[in-house]
Structure 1
Amino acid sequence: MSFPFDQLVFGPDDVDLSRSPLAGKLDAETHVLGAFNPGLTRLPNGNLLMMVRVAEALTHPKRDGHVHSIRWAEDGYHLDAWPLQLVDTADPRAFAMRGGGWKVMALTSLSWLLPVELSPDGRRVEAVHYGRAIAPAASYQCYGVEDPRISRVGDRWLMTTCSVSPERQCTTLYTSDDALDWRLEGIVLDHQNKDMLIFEGLIGGEYWAQTRPLGDAYFAYPPGSEWRAGPSINLARSPDALHWKPHDAPGIRPHAATVSTARMGGGAPPVLTDEGWLSLWHGVEPSGAVGVYRTYWTLLDRDDPSLTVRTGHPPLIEPNPALTEPLKERMYVSDVVFTTGLVDGGDHWIVSSGEADLACRITHLPKDRIG
């Protein structure tokens, strides 16, 4: 699968940790585990803005018989320590507490958001705005701010993020008048709703969003159904982008005929085209510990986005190992492309993705690929 442009444009080696929000505030050495999953929008000056998730990790999380994690609090950043015999450290990104009746874990990294300005075509970096980085600022974000998605609705930009803490995994909203200076508005969706994407425009005078609530149990569809039980993309509506009501009708669901999209979630915020709302989403094929992540597309009805106009079953964008070959010694997952942004580029779409949870990928996608 070839594209007119398909490159990594920003990665872990491009982050200056001396300008990190954590710099000088933590008595431990850190490194960039990944700079990935960038929200994308066009700035008033015509350039593009990627809001990059930077996962800043402890270089030596295990020492003195303990494993450590980073935690923000009002009085600064802290290192918490757990005895190694009480945790499972098989995953380099997190460690799980042993025992108990449910899964409890902690992270070896803390994520913050870095605004990276690109040229209008997304091919090169023009500026990195460290002074406008977004770091944890509330107790519900004490373990980090992750996976931004940016939508422009009218003259205002809306950015959803996943905020992580022992209190809850929740969706938080930031707003901006220029897409560079952001205000934290607080929690808009509660526990473990991972992929909230606000449509880039109102429908019937309301804000709409795709959501993806998680759970440990799902009810089966009847035998012979075209749908597969599991995580799906739901819908919600709001009068003000702050207060959301789940939409009664379901959104995009996994098809029973394929395991390639056995799990799914939102990718880029839907944008309006002549044929309806274009939604790029990720499907996950079970494989190994993480699975294979690919990008798919669906066109939704412009007046009722619970109705599918058309969808594509072959993947639109797939993981590309050739892109990460120069970074192969830094890789900790593979077979993952996680699309997070979509901007009109004229005869093509400019798509931003995280590649292998490691770096930011920009793909020029010809519009005729979506049929």
Structure 2
Amino acid sequence: MTFPVDHLIFGPDDVDLARSPLAGHFAAETYVLGAFNPGLTRLENGNLLMMVRIAEALRQPIADGHVHCIRWDEGRYRLDAWPLDLCDTADPRKFLVRGGKWRVMALTSLSWLLPVELTPDGKKIVAVHYDRAVAPHSSFQCYGVEDGRISRVEDRWLMTTCSVSPERHSTTLYSSDNGLDWHFEDIVLDHQNKDMLIFEGRIAGQYWAQTRPLGDLYFAYPPGSEWRAGPSINLATSPDARHWKPHPAPGIRSHAATVATARMGGGTPPILTAHGWLTLWHGVEPKEIVGIYRTYWSLLDRDDPACVVRTDHNPLLEAAPELTRPLEDKLYVRDVVFTTGIVDAGAYFIVASGEADLACRITHIPKSVFGL
């Protein structure tokens, strides 16, 4: 499926690392591994705001028989050195530390969030707000802040992020009165959960969210079930957006009939339409190390989001090699589109995605695609 507007708006070459939060903290050279997975919202002035994940990596992580990673520690960014013979470096995004009874890994980059302001149609960059970057500030974020997802609920903007550390792999909440200046609220989920998305509106006075807890063990559905066991999109409710209770009914689950969504997770914060809550989510087909990431969509009942009104098993977005061809020398993964933001623009939606874990992609999708 092709759309009238589908382009890369921001990438590694657009980042000024001299203005990075890491600048001047150590002597080793860094580069932008990816500028991707942008949260998206509309500001009061009509412009769009992306919160872009900047994965800043060491230019030469392997040296002197060790592989190195960046870590925040008490207001400073430092380098740790791991003996190379203890590590598996097959995945360019991380390395595994061998020897334990469970998987232990460290990242080859540290992520922080950069606000990038766009024109109202998302076609051009207006400003890059380095002075409003969101970076690690506590030990539970020592390996970075990742994948901001922005929801406007009434007169307040809420942004969930993934905070990474040896202490926990948690979901953290930021809030803003203008969509640009962000205030840290709290840890809101204290387990590994990469995709918490707050609905853009309350239901019967309650905040709702999609969550996606992960683990290494899943229980089987009975033989012949239409569902596939594994990661799925769950639901939670809250009176204040800080204290969350899991919703007892399941959310969106993987279908047994297709391997393309064998693993799945949330993409964009659900947005209310006349036909229910529109949610874009990702499905992952197993392939090599990373897999094939595609974007799908579902409509949820406006009063009971556990009820899926309509969905489509055909992908809405797939990786677009023609978009990343000018960045071929920077590619380190392929077959990945990871949709992270949506804004209503009248006859169409403006959708923001991370393309190839490398750059930010903006797509205009007519509402007719969803039957709206």
Structure 1 position 65, deviation (Å): 1.3
User: Residues of 1 paired with 2:193 and 2:2: CA distance?
Assistant: 33
User: Residues of 1 paired with 2:303 and 2:143: CA distance?
Assistant: 39
Establish whether residue 282 from structure 1 lines up as the match of residue 292 from structure 2: no
Show the counterpart of 1:363: 363
User: Residues of 1 paired with 2:114 and 2:76: CA distance?
Assistant: 19
Query: What SS does structure 2 have at the residue aligned with 1:306?
Result: coil
User: Residues of 2 paired with 1:315 and 1:67: CA distance?
Assistant: 38
Instruction: Please list every run of 5 or more consecutive structure 2 residues that lacks an aligned counterpart in the other structure.
Output: none
Structure 1 position 181, deviation (Å): 0.6
User: Residues of 1 paired with 2:108 and 2:358: CA distance?
Assistant: 15
Contact 2:38 2:53 in 1 (8 A): yes
Establish whether residue 300 from structure 1 lines up as the match of residue 300 from structure 2: yes
Summarize deviations over 1:212-248 as a string: whole Å, max 9, x none: 0001011111111110001000000000000000000
Show the counterpart of 2:196: 196
Query: What SS does structure 1 have at the residue aligned with 2:329?
Result: helix
User: Residues of 2 paired with 1:286 and 1:85: CA distance?
Assistant: 28
User: Residues of 2 paired with 1:346 and 1:19: CA distance?
Assistant: 36
Contact 2:91 2:289 in 1 (8 A): no
**Runs of 4+ displaced beyond 2 Å:** none
Show the counterpart of 1:234: 234
Show the counterpart of 1:138: 138
Establish whether residue 63 from structure 1 lines up as the match of residue 63 from structure 2: yes
Show the counterpart of 2:51: 51
Give the residue type in structure 2 aligned to 1:8. Answer: L
User: Residues of 2 paired with 1:108 and 1:316: CA distance?
Assistant: 31
Structure 1 position 186, deviation (Å): 1.6
Give the residue type in structure 2 aligned to 1:272. Answer: L
Query: What SS does structure 2 have at the residue aligned with 1:268?
Result: coil
1:116-195 superposed matches below 5 A: 116-195=116-195
Instruction: Please list every run of 5 or more consecutive structure 1 residues that lacks an aligned counterpart in the other structure.
Output: none
Q: Percent identity?
A: 75
Show the counterpart of 2:261: 261
Structure 1 position 170, deviation (Å): 0.4
1:105-116 superposed matches below 5 A: 105-116=105-116
User: Residues of 1 paired with 2:303 and 2:321: CA distance?
Assistant: 39
User: Residues of 2 paired with 1:310 and 1:147: CA distance?
Assistant: 27
User: Residues of 1 paired with 2:117 and 2:161: CA distance?
Assistant: 19
User: Residues of 1 paired with 2:26 and 2:3: CA distance?
Assistant: 43
Structure 1 position 85, deviation (Å): 1.2
User: Residues of 1 paired with 2:164 and 2:67: CA distance?
Assistant: 19
Q: Tell me the TM-score normalized by structure 2.
A: 0.99
Show the counterpart of 1:6: 6
Contact 2:75 2:137 in 1 (8 A): no
Structure 1 position 331, deviation (Å): 0.5
User: Residues of 1 paired with 2:63 and 2:286: CA distance?
Assistant: 34
Structure 1 position 25, deviation (Å): 1.3
Give the residue type in structure 2 aligned to 1:211. Answer: T
Establish whether residue 213 from structure 1 lines up as the match of residue 213 from structure 2: yes
Query: What SS does structure 1 have at the residue aligned with 2:248?
Result: coil
User: Residues of 1 paired with 2:129 and 2:46: CA distance?
Assistant: 16
User: Residues of 1 paired with 2:214 and 2:156: CA distance?
Assistant: 29
Give the residue type in structure 1 aligned to 2:105. Answer: M
User: Residues of 2 paired with 1:280 and 1:57: CA distance?
Assistant: 29
User: Residues of 2 paired with 1:84 and 1:255: CA distance?
Assistant: 40
Q: Which moved more, 1:173-182 or 1:79-88?
A: 79-88
Give the residue type in structure 2 aligned to 1:108. Answer: T
Structure 1 position 75, deviation (Å): 3.8
Give the residue type in structure 1 aligned to 2:273. Answer: T
Aligned-pair RMSD on alpha carbons? Answer: 0.6
Query: What SS does structure 2 have at the residue aligned with 1:214?
Result: coil
Give the residue type in structure 1 aligned to 2:309. Answer: V
Query: What SS does structure 1 have at the residue aligned with 2:13?
Result: helix
Show the counterpart of 1:291: 291
Summarize deviations over 1:312-339 as a string: whole Å, max 9, x none: 1111111100000001111110000000
Show the counterpart of 2:72: 72
Count of aligned pairs between the two proteins? 371
Show the counterpart of 1:42: 42
Give the residue type in structure 2 aligned to 1:194. Answer: K
Establish whether residue 99 from structure 1 lines up as the match of residue 99 from structure 2: yes
Query: What SS does structure 1 have at the residue aligned with 2:6?
Result: strand
Summarize deviations over 1:288-320 as a string: whole Å, max 9, x none: 111111111100000010001111111111110
User: Residues of 2 paired with 1:229 and 1:336: CA distance?
Assistant: 23
Give the residue type in structure 1 aligned to 2:159. Answer: M
User: Residues of 1 paired with 2:280 and 2:117: CA distance?
Assistant: 23
User: Residues of 2 paired with 1:94 and 1:58: CA distance?
Assistant: 12
Show the counterpart of 1:348: 348
User: Residues of 2 paired with 1:288 and 1:92: CA distance?
Assistant: 13
Summarize deviations over 1:59-113 as a string: whole Å, max 9, x none: 0111111111000011411101111111111222111111110000111110000
